Structure 1
Amino acid sequence: MNLVRWTFAGRGKIRAYFDIFPASTVVLSKIKSYYFVQNVRWNESDPIVDREALVEMERIINREMETLDAYNERRNK
């Protein structure tokens, strides 16, 4: 999965678009010092988003925003 583009959505949120789900908008929120998927505005033309895809989206965004270390620490607790 690759990140196509992302944009700030205000109030600590990011809207992201991924190549596997091109018609769906993923909204991520910042909590403490990392981002997590808040919701997916899923489009029926895209495949169903499963939990593994959500985790991969979180990793990609946190790597892009340079918060992957904080995300991984959270995942290890």
Structure 2
Amino acid sequence: MKLVNWSYARRYNIKAIFDEFPHVVVLFRQIGGYYFIYSMKGLTPEHVPGRRDYVQMEYLLNRELGMLEAYLQRKTR
């Protein structure tokens, strides 16, 4: 999976699009020095990401923004 595009959105959110789910806009929010998935728009019943996909999306965005260390040190890991 690759991070295709990301941009800042309203209220401290980041919008991102990934190549495996190009029709889905993933919204991230910051907590504790890293970003996590807050919501998704454009999901279809045929293409629902699994837990592994969520973790990979969070990893890629945090790496892109230079917050990977905080993401790897999170408590819920």
Please, what TM-score do these two structures have when normalized by structure 2?
Answer: 0.89
Secondary structure of the corresponding residue to residue 74 of structure 1: coil
Q: Gaps spanning 5+ residues in structure 1: where?
A: none
How many residue pairs end up in the alignment?
A: 77
Q: Which runs of 4 or more aligned residues in structure 1 lie more than 3 Å from their structure 2 counterparts after TM superposition?
A: none
C-alpha deviation, 1:43, in angstroms: 3.0
Alpha-carbon distance between aligned partners in 1 of 2:49 and 2:31, rounded to the nearest angstrom: 22
Q: Gaps spanning 5+ residues in structure 2: where?
A: none
Identity of aligned residues (%): 36
C-alpha deviation, 1:45, in angstroms: 7.8
1:10-64 Cα distance to aligned partner (Å, 9 max, x none): 3221000000000110000001210000011133286211111000000000000
Q: Is 1:21 the counterpart of 2:43 in the alignment?
A: no
Corresponding position of 1:61? 61
Alpha-carbon distance between aligned partners in 2 of 1:72 and 1:17, rounded to the nearest angstrom: 22
RMSD: 1.8
Q: Which has the higher helix share?
A: 1
